[in-house]
Amino acid sequence: MKLLLILFYGLIFTLPLSVHSASLNGFNLDRLIVPAEQILSGGPGKDGIPAILNPRFVEGNKADFMKSHDVILGLTMDGQSRAYPIKILNWHEIVNDKIDNRKFIVTYCPLCGSGMAFLAKVDNRNLTFGVSGLLYNSDVLLYDHQSESLWSQIRGQAISGKAAGQTLTQYPLTLTRWQQWISDHPQTLVLSERTGYYRNYSQDPYAGYSRSPRLFFPVANKAPSSYPTKETVLGYKGKKKQIAFPLSELRKNAQETFSYEFEGEMLNIHWDQQNQSATMTDQNGVLRNTTMLYWFAWYAFYPETEVFKAK
């Protein structure tokens, strides 16, 4: 198993940028809506990074494997809260989950630092998702098991196959540290390390990546150097425009909560300096769909983005 892990790391960290996904991991690119040359192999094949299909959960106060500083993606749906540790998502990238009768997926792309949740239903059809092993703008391409269409995580849209052009409904997530999440949600469940796969979840296969300016894969739109390549931003897609709130600007702004007008609407930005977390709510306190991710990744998809500047 140790040898397999070493080989897995090698695929992730040493794959030359020039390698193009000529075979495209067996996926048919009918009805492709992005340039074919921008779809690249990430190294592992189809399902080489195994999505979690039947997640198990542990009560938060019994989760001995969780450390206070562990970063998680937190979700609350129908009054129930769940936490998905990044240290597990690094190895699986997709969790197919449900609360009551609502099916959804929690996704994380380590290369873009992007965590997003979506309802797993399109046109009244429930879908399940796997990891294609392909990338678009350095971002994970999901695929649905029902039609094998490829889906861009950050766009939340199918880019090929029968579902091409269709979009998933995003659901709000909070990226924060475990200590803060369980304090705010004491009844939370947390994704168990008993995933059905043998992985050392205490080991980060992407250790050091976030601190390096180097990208492993090219992107269509190179972000300006006004911020470090992997500066974390809070990205928000409005009705017609997009805006990024770099965490460095939120630090300078030095307000835990402030109002910001965007597309004629007043929004509340919440900044947690201690846990390096940010969220957005409307004037009624309802969470908006935002994504915390690296600056380069947000700009790659939304080069016309506005950027918040502290005064």
150-194 residue pLDDT tens? 999 999 999 999 999 999 999 999 999 999 999 999 999 999 999
Same domain (yes/no): 274, 187: no
Helices (H), 43-158: 86-92
How far is the C-alpha of 209 from the C-alpha of 9, rounded, in Å? Answer: 12
pLDDT of residue 13 exceeding 80:
no
Least confident among 11-25, 56-70, 149-163 = 11-25
pLDDT at site 41: 93
Same domain (yes/no): 160, 229: no
Same domain (yes/no): 267, 124: no
Same domain (yes/no): 181, 252: no
How far is the C-alpha of 195 from the C-alpha of 55, rounded, in Å? Answer: 7
Asked whether residue 210 is assigned to any structural domain, the reply reads no
Same domain (yes/no): 177, 251: no
Helices (H), the chain: 2-14, 86-92, 178-184, 247-253, 295-301
pLDDT, tens digit, 9 for 90 and up, residues 253-276: 999 999 999 999 999 999 999 999
The three-class DSSP label of residue 280 is strand
The number of folded domains in the chain is 2
pLDDT, tens digit, 9 for 90 and up, residues 219-262: 999 999 999 999 999 999 999 999 999 999 999 999 999 999 99
How far is the C-alpha of 143 from the C-alpha of 158, rounded, in Å? Answer: 8
Over residues 107-127, the mean pLDDT reads 98
How far is the C-alpha of 44 from the C-alpha of 53, rounded, in Å? Answer: 19
pLDDT tier at 142, thresholds 50, 70, 90: very high
How far is the C-alpha of 157 from the C-alpha of 154, rounded, in Å? Answer: 8
Asked whether residue 207 is assigned to any structural domain, the reply reads no
Same domain (yes/no): 39, 176: yes
Over residues 52-65, the mean pLDDT reads 98
Asked whether residue 206 is assigned to any structural domain, the reply reads no
Same domain (yes/no): 114, 261: no
pLDDT tier at 29, thresholds 50, 70, 90: confident
Asked whether residue 228 is assigned to any structural domain, the reply reads yes
Q: Are 74 and 173 in contact (CB under 8 A)?
A: yes
Same domain (yes/no): 57, 151: yes
pLDDT at site 307: 99
Over residues 3-7, the mean pLDDT reads 39
Same domain (yes/no): 244, 162: no
pLDDT of residue 115 exceeding 70:
yes
pLDDT at site 28: 82
pLDDT at site 25: 86
Query: In percent, how much of the chain has pLDDT > 70?
Result: 93
237 closest CA partner among 170, 148, 146, 143: 170
* Domain that includes residue 235, residue range: 221-307
Same domain (yes/no): 266, 125: no
Over residues 31-42, the mean pLDDT reads 95
User: What tokens were used for 306?
Assistant: 């506005």
Q: Are 298 and 229 in contact (CB under 8 A)?
A: no
Asked whether residue 107 is assigned to any structural domain, the reply reads yes
C-alpha distances (whole Å) from 145 to each of 51, 109, 125, 238 are 11, 19, 12, 30
Among 171, 191, 211, the domain-final residue is: 191
Q: Are 282 and 265 in contact (CB under 8 A)?
A: yes
pLDDT at site 8: 45
Q: What is the chain's mean pLDDT, rounded?
A: 93
pLDDT at site 270: 99
Among 191, 206, 240, the domain-final residue is: 191
Same domain (yes/no): 181, 246: no
pLDDT at site 26: 87
Phi and psi angles of residue 245, each rounded to the nearest 5 degrees, phi first: -115, 95
How far is the C-alpha of 251 from the C-alpha of 310, rounded, in Å? Answer: 9
Asked whether residue 196 is assigned to any structural domain, the reply reads no
Least confident among 3-12, 68-77, 101-110, 246-255 = 3-12
Beta strands in 110-180 (DSSP E): 114-119, 121-122, 125-126, 129-136, 139-144, 150-152, 157-158, 170-171, 174-177
Same domain (yes/no): 187, 240: no
Asked whether residue 211 is assigned to any structural domain, the reply reads no
